[in-house]
Amino acid sequence: MASAGANAVENKNFNYHVDRFADIEVLRYEVPEFKNLTLNQKKMLYYLSQAAQMGRDIIWDQNGRYNLQLRQLLEKIYLKYDGDRNSKDFKAFEKYLKQVWFGNGIHHHYSTDKFRPEFSQAFFEERVGKLHNCCLPLNPGQTREQMMAELVPVIFDPSVMAKRVNQDGTQDVVATSANNLYGPGVTQAEVEEFYAKMKKPNDPTPVSYGLNARVVKENGEIKEQKYKVNGLYGPAIAEIIYWLDKAKGVAENDAQKAYITKLIDYYITGDLRLFDEYSILWAEDTKSDVDFVNGFIESYGDPLGMTGSWESYVNFKNKKSSERTEAISSNAQWFEDRSPVDPKFRKPKVKGVSAKAITAAMLAGDAFPSTAIGINLPNSNWIRAAHGSKSVTIENITEAYAMASQGNGFNEEFVIDAPTRKLLDDYLYVTDMLHTDLHECLGHGSGQLLPGVDPDALKENGSTLEEARADLFALYYLADPKLIELGLLDNPEAYKAEYYKYMMNGLMTQLNRIELGNDVEEAHMRNRQLIAKWVLEHGKKKAKGGKDVVELAKKGGKTYVKINDYAKMRELIGNLLAEMQRIKSEGDYKGGNDIIQKYAVKVDPKLHKEVIQRFSTLDIPPYRGFINPVYTPVTDNAGEITDIEISYPENYVEQMLRLSRDYSPLTKKSTKSCSAK
């Protein structure tokens, strides 16, 4: 296969911008080099994309028990609306529907707060009143009145299902979270007791308990409803299996065939041992170009961090850019041996970190429309230790973000001076990419726990501290001459671009994502503020001439980050990395909680207000996500596939409505076709 360069934009006129509403911008991403793949590879990507899209309903239902019913009802109203589409109520209704599509349900994908509709309840009731009974997504035996009695408060009462994931450790996080991973009436204590009984003490290879099940209470008894073909989400899982089986038929090699078979067996049985076996085979396959994730994977949607949200990434290797990640991963031991942490916390032998840059071909489930730019899987600790992990940087998504941001005025507003802006223009793209590589492929995998330390010892702070550790590792080595020696950077000053952006983001600009008066909650945001504030405080008067290493400087009444001593800043990053690794290795809950409470949570209200005000003059959305390309098989007279065509014809609304129409195995039966208004 011919390979794509880091900036292989096929079409300079590619239109990245798709839609803009509320706090969201929707983009499209290009799939460079798809046309140059072999027919078999294209077929495989097509089948895997079908398998990916067939899971869409699962994440909607996991996110909240009314989401699927509500989506159908909202879409019916939208399609059948015969009034003025420019009226205030309809515009507000459309905005709400777009938000619900983006959140895969009624909660914000990031803050997990419930959306607030800006149309009236009267408008909603009137529009539902105009729909025939046969158009309504009624549950079996449900009347129109019963449906409305349930759904109206779900939409309009802010206190009902207020937050999808509540992480306030002073409350029952299960009972107060609105997600559908736990049935009605189940408490945190009951879930914890249920799994504590199931876990075997000192099991060196534990399965990921609770990963693929909803926990419910039946006649006072706690039990699991497994996600499997003859269980919960069966119709969607059956479709996923059908397309995975097709993909298996065009797999690139036997190793890939073997892990697809395991994945199918796991979807059939729900057996988590099989999922572990699949994960091991998948992590060890580094030969295939086409690759994918499809399953219940990340557990951020569960306040207890156990149940996996359904997601899929379908992708193929970007060979040119993978030279970069391979240079890093093949030197993993070099980096580990020199990491600025206590030697007893270092890994004596780093286990197979495989790393590659990929081109995303389809995003689905929890990875759509909002997506990550880097992934490192599997998540199971013992599998990572014994069999290694696969780390990827999603190149074409990173590129789409960068291309879509050009000329948006952000740097002019927030970067302190012209030389610093030039530094960012020249080096931020490449150092950002390297930061993701280092974070995913070395950061998360570095270090070791002391013997006997419980991997869950840091509890609700685990995610934040782990992200901080990986970011610090990446930042520390971004400034290392080793990167020049490996040919990954061509200028020893380049790292300063990422350092500046990191401090500006952690101290200031990320606050744009938070509503005035609120604290920082999300794990990645907490981690960034923790690092930035810690460095700010510990660098006071430590630079040459008694200056601060980093300061918040005033210019023309506005606040800017000013870095006076980059070399010293790197030293501080090394110091904090050492402390983070100690907390993780020793399982020091109190140490971790203290540092989070001191640096990661609280916001300076004056600065917060200033940041939001300055953003408001720019019209830069706080959140972005993507729609997917469309893949169309070309067949000959015998019905054989001769090619797969890729195109980008849709806008956001068109894509969402098509997905609901063609990829909704869990809702198919409940809406009959209806020609009446």
Cβ atoms of residues 301 and 307 within 8 Å: yes
**CA–CA distance, 104 with 63 (Å, rounded to integer):** 7
**CA–CA distance, 81 with 92 (Å, rounded to integer):** 13
Task: Report, in Å, the least distance between residue 474 CB and Zn ion.
Answer: 9
Comparing CB distances to Zn ion, the nearer of 415 and 438 is: 438
Comparing CB distances to Zn ion, the nearer of 465 and 627 is: 465
Comparing CB distances to Zn ion, the nearer of 177 and 463 is: 463
Nearest to 576 by CA among 599, 602, 610: 599
What are residue 647's DSSP bridge partners? 630
Q: How far apart are the first and last CA of the chain?
A: 52
Task: Report, in Å, the least distance between residue 471 CB and Zn ion.
Answer: 8
Comparing CB distances to Zn ion, the nearer of 319 and 444 is: 444
CA distances from 534 to 386, 506, 520 (A): 34, 10, 15
Question: Of all helices (H) and strands (E), which one includes residue 582?
Answer: helix 566-586
Cβ atoms of residues 548 and 542 within 8 Å: yes
Which residue has tokens 């409505």? 657
Comparing CB distances to Zn ion, the nearer of 57 and 467 is: 467
Among positive and negative, which fits the CA dihedral 359, 364, 365, 368?
positive
Cβ neighbours of 373 (radius 10 Å): 18
Amino acid making up residue 557: G
Contact letters for Zn ion, residues 485-514 (x by CB under 5 A): ------------------------------
Task: Report, in Å, the least distance between residue 14 CB and Zn ion.
Answer: 29
By CB under 5 A, the count of residues binding Zn ion is: 2
Choices 87-95, 231-239, 423-431, 459-467; region in contact with Zn ion by CB under 5 A: 459-467
Choices 192-200, 290-298, 464-472, 639-647; region in contact with Zn ion by CB under 5 A: 464-472
Task: Report, in Å, the least distance between residue 362 CB and Zn ion.
Answer: 22
Task: Report, in Å, the least distance between residue 540 CB and Zn ion.
Answer: 29
Comparing CB distances to Zn ion, the nearer of 357 and 470 is: 470
Helix axes 589-599, 462-478, angle to 10 degrees: 70
Task: Report, in Å, the least distance between residue 528 CB and Zn ion.
Answer: 11
What are residue 377's DSSP bridge partners? 390
Q: Which of residues 300-319 bind Zn ion (CB under 5 A)?
A: none
Amino acid making up residue 76: K
Q: Cα-atom radius of gyration of the chain, to the nearest Å?
A: 25
Token couple for 164: 């999808």
**CA–CA distance, 282 with 34 (Å, rounded to integer):** 23
Cβ neighbours of 117 (radius 10 Å): 19
The residue with its CB nearest to Zn ion is 470
Task: Report, in Å, the least distance between residue 595 CB and Zn ion.
Answer: 18
Task: Report, in Å, the least distance between residue 144 CB and Zn ion.
Answer: 47
Task: Report, in Å, the least distance between residue 520 CB and Zn ion.
Answer: 17
Comparing CB distances to Zn ion, the nearer of 120 and 379 is: 379
Contact letters for Zn ion, residues 641-670 (x by CB under 5 A): ------------------------------
Comparing CB distances to Zn ion, the nearer of 467 and 588 is: 467
The secondary structure of 625-648 as a DSSP string is EEEPPEEEEEE-TTS-EEEEEEE-
Task: Report, in Å, the least distance between residue 356 CB and Zn ion.
Answer: 17
Choices 219-227, 347-355, 406-414, 467-475; region in contact with Zn ion by CB under 5 A: 467-475
Comparing CB distances to Zn ion, the nearer of 299 and 660 is: 299
| DSSP SS3 for 227 | strand
Cβ atoms of residues 244 and 51 within 8 Å: yes
Task: Report, in Å, the least distance between residue 439 CB and Zn ion.
Answer: 6
Q: Which of residues 179-198 bind Zn ion (CB under 5 A)?
A: none
The secondary structure of 152-202 as a DSSP string is HHHHH-TTTT-BSS---TTS-TTTT--SSSB-TT--HHHHHHHHHHHSPTT
Comparing CB distances to Zn ion, the nearer of 61 and 467 is: 467
Question: Of all helices (H) and strands (E), which one includes residue 292?
Answer: strand 290-298
Task: Report, in Å, the least distance between residue 462 CB and Zn ion.
Answer: 12
Task: Report, in Å, the least distance between residue 466 CB and Zn ion.
Answer: 7
Task: Report, in Å, the least distance between residue 75 CB and Zn ion.
Answer: 35
Comparing CB distances to Zn ion, the nearer of 395 and 467 is: 467
The secondary structure of 1-54 as a DSSP string is -----TT--S-TT---EEEEETTEEEEE---TTGGGS-HHHHHHHHHHHHHHHT
**CA–CA distance, 310 with 8 (Å, rounded to integer):** 31
Comparing CB distances to Zn ion, the nearer of 178 and 358 is: 358
Task: Report, in Å, the least distance between residue 7 CB and Zn ion.
Answer: 25
Q: Which of residues 108-127 bind Zn ion (CB under 5 A)?
A: none
Task: Report, in Å, the least distance between residue 581 CB and Zn ion.
Answer: 15
Comparing CB distances to Zn ion, the nearer of 75 and 467 is: 467
The only residue of 470, 472, 488, 596 in contact with Zn ion, by rule CB under 5 A: 470
Task: Report, in Å, the least distance between residue 320 CB and Zn ion.
Answer: 24
**Bridging pattern class, strands 353-365 and 389-394:** parallel
Choices 84-92, 461-469, 525-533, 556-564; region in contact with Zn ion by CB under 5 A: 461-469
Cβ neighbours of 80 (radius 10 Å): 15
Token couple for 288: 């295939």
**CA–CA distance, 528 with 472 (Å, rounded to integer):** 10
Choices 14-22, 91-99, 469-477, 515-523; region in contact with Zn ion by CB under 5 A: 469-477
Comparing CB distances to Zn ion, the nearer of 263 and 580 is: 580
**CA–CA distance, 316 with 355 (Å, rounded to integer):** 13
Tell the burial category of 451 from Cβ atoms under 10 Å away from its Cβ (0-12, 13-18, 19+).
Answer: exposed
What is the helix, strand, coil percentage profile of the chain, to 5? 50, 15, 35
Q: Is the peptide bond before 201 cis (omega within 30 degrees of 0)?
A: no
Choices 152-160, 267-275, 417-425, 463-471; region in contact with Zn ion by CB under 5 A: 463-471
Comparing CB distances to Zn ion, the nearer of 31 and 470 is: 470
Choices 36-44, 308-316, 416-424, 460-468; region in contact with Zn ion by CB under 5 A: 460-468
Comparing CB distances to Zn ion, the nearer of 163 and 384 is: 384
Comparing CB distances to Zn ion, the nearer of 98 and 528 is: 528
Contacts with Zn ion, residue ranges (CB under 5 A) = 467, 470
